[in-house]
Amino acid sequence: MVHQSDSMQCRRVRSMLQLFLLATLVFTVVYLLNSSQPSIHTLVSETHRQLNSLKHINLKESLHYAEERLKVDSKYLTALGFTSSPRVFPNHTWTNVTLPVIVTAAASGQGEQVTGLVLSARRHQSQLPVVVFDLGLGRYERQQLEASCNSSMCWLQQLEYASYPAHLDELRTRAFVPVVIQEVLNKAGAVLWLDASRRLVPHSSARLLKKARQLGVLAWRLDLQLDEQLAAVPTTAFTHYKMFDYFDANIEHFYFHKMVSDEALLIYNTPAVHRQLMLPWLRCALLPECVAPTGAQAGGCRFNKKPHYRYSGCHGYDTSALNVALGLMFRPDRTPYIETERLERAEEPDGGLGGDNSTAAAL
């Protein structure tokens, strides 16, 4: 009888325990349903908010990183017109000047080339003034040039290397190109930049000037001879990967971005061009580690790699910096600034000045 009584008592205790656990479970469920704890939807929304906040912080850090990477001494930028109240087109200090101003530059050994450009400008675009930057012409070359460029419509100007970082006189990088362009843009408002090897041709430029004023810049495609035909050069094929880091640009976005040459550019100093093109282009040109990254070289190009956007092994220096800046300004998938109709052509092998635009060589 004692054993039976113990068994009944155990069952009673077990039943009471089960009842207590059930009551506890019910109470917990009711409490959760009526409490102010966040719902799953609320938790998900809060998670998304925090992730977006983190992305915003990362974007700000990325922009700050790009600013720091392309940080140059402010004295250079201030001297070139990058101030809190910049002078932009149509405001300029040069009055009674027909725009754009033709700008070129010549180093030692290029005296005859630049003289040919000056003569072609006088013949075909006589209304446009010409500024020739002397990058180190020899005494005889300078005298020759002064004979053909010594008037109110054409003048020589020394590039003051001492006013800029020391690497600017390393002409292989062509870091001087945006510098001389900006020196004139800051005063005249519009520039037709031409390499000393280019020649102006007979042309009614009204349409191109109108388009350039609207976009701020016109350029001509950089073509490559591949399989007996001309092909566009992807920016990534001719740009060292470290340059994209300095611009904080996604290299993958430039796989199909078409490069333009820096030998011919039509630029108006609009607010957008001033901040989005000239400023980053100049910042890179004034930083030797950006325009000429460690490991970059001009020779050894292998453009036959597949796919064609793979780095060819050679770097375009100033040309590459220009194209990355253009890609960021317009987006890499948009190139409305690329023009097919030409104002100029390459110098003929015999140095002739011919005027047939049909013989224009691709850049």
78-100 pLDDT, tens digit per residue, is 999 999 999 999 988 898 899 99
User: Alpha-carbon distance 8 to 119, whole Å?
Assistant: 121
- Say what the pTM is: 0.78
User: Alpha-carbon distance 301 to 312, whole Å?
Assistant: 5
Label residue 22 by pLDDT band (50, 70, 90).
Answer: low
Label residue 260 by pLDDT band (50, 70, 90).
Answer: very high
Whether the per-residue pLDDT at 361 is higher than 60: the answer is no
Radius of gyration, CA atoms only, the chain: 32
Tell which CATH architecture fits domain 75-359.
Alpha-Beta Complex (3.90)
Q: Is the previous residue joined to 90 through a cis bond, with omega within 30 degrees of 0? A: yes
Whether the per-residue pLDDT at 133 is higher than 70: the answer is yes
More confident residue, 1 or 209: 209
> How far does CA 337 lie from the centroid of its chain?
13
Mean per-residue pLDDT, 262-268: 98
Q: In terms of Cα–Cα distance, which of 314, 324, 342 is closest to 258?
A: 324
166-190 pLDDT, tens digit per residue, is 999 999 999 999 999 999 999 999 9
338 touches 260 (CB < 8 A)? yes
pLDDT at 16: 67
Label residue 299 by pLDDT band (50, 70, 90).
Answer: confident
- Secondary structure letter of residue 38 according to DSSP: P
More confident residue, 57 or 299: 299
